[in-house]
Structure 1
Amino acid sequence: MGNRLGDLSPEGSVAIGILVGLISTSVQSLGLTLQRKSHILEDEKESQHARRPPYRRRRWQLGMGMFLISNLVGSTIQITTLPLPVLSTLQASGLVFNSICATLILGEPFTRWSLGGTLLVATGAILIAIFGAIPEPAHNLDQLLLLLGRKPFVIWMVLQALLVIAIIVVAASLGRLPSIASTPRIRLLRGLAYGSISGILSAHSLLVAKSVVELFVRSIVDRINQWNRWQSWAIFLGLIVLALTQLYFLHRGLKLVSTSVLYPLVFCIYNIIAILDGLIYFKQTHLLSVLHACLIALGTAILLSGVLALSWRLSDEQTQ
């Protein structure tokens, strides 16, 4: 069960966590949709000189502010009040809010493809969230450094870095081909590529954030300062770099693809990589049963099929 909040009963603490979770995920979805709306309106301007950078647009500023504040405040309260399975399932509710915002704000038609895609996405997300939740023990700095230096984890991170670099190269190359760069299909592919990078980096940000939280907790519980060594601050700096980088690529993706397609893809990749991160980093591969692994794979397939259905809906809309 999650930690209690103040003097509240466990039930009251969970109730507050769920309420805050629903509010924060809906505000995050609204913030992302406002950012996407800002990009759409700016792209509709015929003159390149009349277009403003995102940070000078009020709608984009509002959307980014809502996303950051709801993410920070919501995550902090939820982590302290909710058990992991409930927390993960609540994250999936953002997919439904996202679909609603895309229809109301972006004017995307809610067709049978929209309904089918949203249901598939929600079903797959819940499967991934429930069966991918694995408890993790607490560690001090020395234990975290040993885990960071393990060969399997180093190999895993190197492979992830190579994958991210390869995706960046492919997406950038497609964007430099004038004959196809502006076509809807290439814009979709590039947007999904940037969204994939954001999902990967978000998962790694979560892993590093857990390590930072553990260092704070161990400093308080054990009364041994875990922040008197440079490695602790290096981990904290890594968290900031990863968080800002994943936001940058999420921004790049939002400029090219609807939130109704991008958000589910980022969610799926984020959860899968986060699960693998935890299994490899904390040496927990033995805790994931074959049945749960198969259910996670099934959830992934269902979620991606929902993303495909939403993509087809947008393709049909653009060709009409």
Structure 2
Amino acid sequence: MSVIYNISNKMAVLEESNNSQKIALGCFVALVSSALQSLGIVLQRKSHLLVPQDGHGIIYSQHNLNKKKRNMWVCGFFLFIITNILGSLIQITTLPLILLSPLQSIGLIFNSVFGCMLLPDEIFTVKLMVGTVVIFIGAFLVAYNGNFEQTPENGGLEFKIDLLIKKITATSFLMWFVGTFVIVGTLLTVNAWLKWRANNLGKISRRRKMKIRRRIKFIRGINYGIVSGTLTAHTFLFAKSLVDLVIDIITAGDHRVWKILREFNFAPLTLTLLMLAIIAFQLISFNLGLSQVSTAVLYPLCFLVFNFISLINDLTFNSLLKDNLITFKQLLLIVVGLVAVLIGVLIISRHSTESDVKRKSIVESYRSDHQYSLHDLIGSPGYGSTESESGILKKQSPLEFEHDNLLSLISYGSKTLDDQV
């Protein structure tokens, strides 16, 4: 009996060690992929900041400038897409839902850091440093206390599909899941009524009418943010379940795989269709929210709701408290960590908003300081733009130079808003 007991203890230690290694791998991949994705985003933004003149007084031709912009944007785009797909797959397969949600905030840190390094008019402020430290502390609390030992699933593929169906149809999860969609439906109904109300205010003063409409617009944006955060959390839940199931199917190597899938085909198919529908509604609600409130309000709100719903999803779907996989003390520390992450996101979002306001003021200042009268434009001597073999313009008329430079700045200002959307 003692030999069997020792063997079982060694197996438990080995499983716990493997689980810790998987979580460590997932966290490492999350850091690397978030950094590369942020670098890709910053490169795309930087491509819209290139102006015809560099710091040494060399004026590039529009052809060379467009080529440089295009190459930089393509590089950033593919860097973001590739790392996003690969990083998400590895994270979903190695990390529990409790860890997946706060790790999404790390990209905000890297985005601000790379922005300070590569973009003009971006400086590393005290707010950015404080927000980074607070997010790091919160993410550490969540990662440390969310590292629980998962229940081993030693059965075959048929057992795992059956277990997935049992989790989805569990009474506690179904009540919670349906309840969230009742809340979502209620919020959308309220928004529809508010829209009707804004268009039928009756005979009141114009000033009061504008005030009421601004208030209604803000409330509708908040409601859309809650809906978007809720649907995003459900998307992560079903995505993780589907990816885990697909990996089990690929690694099964069993001739009965297709027979099992035919028997349980409604489960994966239903999950896939439901996930796609949720993704579509999530994107619609998020974009509707952007049309009502600023990103400084919408992003932290969506992030808060996303983390809160993801935590309850994990508690109900995987029965963490019921199966004693996590203690109330760990749960409390995880909640504290999530609150810290949210505070950090609020601080960094505030920093990003102030940077965007500064950029807009620079564009407006440039437009006001570089105005030519018709007499100045007609009377100014033409410099006669000539292009060398290297594609560099040595001279350019004042009108052409100011026109190109102003267009670059205006394009950058408008593209900054597009990147936020």
CA contact (8 A) 1:125 1:268 kept: no
Taking a change above 3 Å as real, the CA distance of residues 164 and 122 of structure 1, as seen in their structure-2 partners, is farther
Q: 1:162 matched to which residue of 2?
A: 182
Query: Mapping of 1:22-101 within 5 angstroms?
Result: 22-29=31-38, 69-79=82-92, 82=94, 91-100=104-113
Taking a change above 3 Å as real, the CA distance of residues 276 and 15 of structure 1, as seen in their structure-2 partners, is closer
- Report whether the alignment pairs 1:208 with 2:238: yes
- Measure how far apart 1:206 and its partner are: 2.0
- Report whether the alignment pairs 1:279 with 2:315: yes
CA contact (8 A) 1:28 1:70 kept: yes
Give the Cα–Cα distance (whole angstroms) in 2 for the partners of residues 188 and 125 of structure 1. 30
Q: 1:179 matched to which residue of 2?
A: 210
Q: 1:221 matched to which residue of 2?
A: 252
3-state DSSP of counterpart to 2:261: coil
TM (norm. structure 2) is 0.53
Give the Cα–Cα distance (whole angstroms) in 2 for the partners of residues 147 and 63 of structure 1. 40
3-state DSSP of counterpart to 2:275: helix
3-state DSSP of counterpart to 1:288: coil
Give the Cα–Cα distance (whole angstroms) in 2 for the partners of residues 155 and 106 of structure 1. 51
Taking a change above 3 Å as real, the CA distance of residues 96 and 238 of structure 1, as seen in their structure-2 partners, is same
- Measure how far apart 1:102 and its partner are: 6.6
Q: What letter corresponds to residue 178 of structure 2 in structure 1? A: V
- Which has the larger displacement, 167-176 or 19-28? 167-176
Q: 1:7 matched to which residue of 2?
A: none
- Measure how far apart 1:21 and its partner are: 3.2
Q: Where in structure 2 are there 5+ consecutive unaligned residues?
A: 1-15, 47-69, 154-158, 199-208, 362-421
Q: Deviations over 1:94-121 (max 9, x none)?
A: 1312334676769677644444344333
Give the Cα–Cα distance (whole angstroms) in 1 for the partners of residues 353 and 334 of structure 2. 28
Q: 1:141 matched to which residue of 2?
A: 161
CA contact (8 A) 1:204 1:274 kept: yes
1:124 aligned residue (138, 141, 147): 138
For the pair shown, the structure with the greater C-alpha radius of gyration is 2
CA contact (8 A) 1:127 1:295 kept: yes
3-state DSSP of counterpart to 1:285: coil
CA contact (8 A) 1:195 1:266 kept: yes
Q: 2:305 matched to which residue of 1?
A: 269
Q: 1:294 matched to which residue of 2?
A: 332
- Measure how far apart 1:293 and its partner are: 1.4
- Report whether the alignment pairs 1:304 with 2:342: yes
Taking a change above 3 Å as real, the CA distance of residues 205 and 87 of structure 1, as seen in their structure-2 partners, is closer
Give the Cα–Cα distance (whole angstroms) in 1 for the partners of residues 232 and 152 of structure 2. 21
Taking a change above 3 Å as real, the CA distance of residues 61 and 149 of structure 1, as seen in their structure-2 partners, is farther
Give the Cα–Cα distance (whole angstroms) in 2 for the partners of residues 89 and 307 of structure 1. 10
Give the Cα–Cα distance (whole angstroms) in 2 for the partners of residues 311 and 189 of structure 1. 20
Taking a change above 3 Å as real, the CA distance of residues 221 and 315 of structure 1, as seen in their structure-2 partners, is closer
TM (norm. structure 1) is 0.66
Give the Cα–Cα distance (whole angstroms) in 1 for the partners of residues 83 and 267 of structure 2. 30
Give the Cα–Cα distance (whole angstroms) in 1 for the partners of residues 353 and 246 of structure 2. 48
- Measure how far apart 1:210 and its partner are: 2.5
- Measure how far apart 1:166 and its partner are: 3.5
CA contact (8 A) 1:92 1:122 kept: no
Give the Cα–Cα distance (whole angstroms) in 2 for the partners of residues 198 and 33 of structure 1. 25
- Measure how far apart 1:280 and its partner are: 0.7
CA contact (8 A) 1:35 1:63 kept: yes
3-state DSSP of counterpart to 1:179: helix
Q: Deviations over 1:66-114 (max 9, x none)?
A: 665433221123445x565987775442131233467676967764444
Give the Cα–Cα distance (whole angstroms) in 2 for the partners of residues 35 and 188 of structure 1. 30
- Which has the larger displacement, 187-196 or 120-129? 187-196
- Measure how far apart 1:155 and its partner are: 0.9
- Measure how far apart 1:300 and its partner are: 2.8
Q: Deviations over 1:37-79 (max 9, x none)?
A: 9xxxxxxxxxxxxxxxxxxxx9999998766543322112344
Give the Cα–Cα distance (whole angstroms) in 2 for the partners of residues 309 and 236 of structure 1. 36
Give the Cα–Cα distance (whole angstroms) in 2 for the partners of residues 175 and 66 of structure 1. 40
- Measure how far apart 1:205 and its partner are: 1.5
Q: Deviations over 1:131-184 (max 9, x none)?
A: 23443554522222222222211110121112223344455666674725885x
CA contact (8 A) 1:88 1:133 kept: no
Q: Deviations over 1:244-274 (max 9, x none)?
A: 333343444456433x665554444333322
Give the Cα–Cα distance (whole angstroms) in 1 for the partners of residues 302 and 339 of structure 2. 14
3-state DSSP of counterpart to 1:298: helix
Give the Cα–Cα distance (whole angstroms) in 1 for the partners of residues 235 and 106 of structure 2. 21
Give the Cα–Cα distance (whole angstroms) in 2 for the partners of residues 106 and 232 of structure 1. 48
Identity %: 33
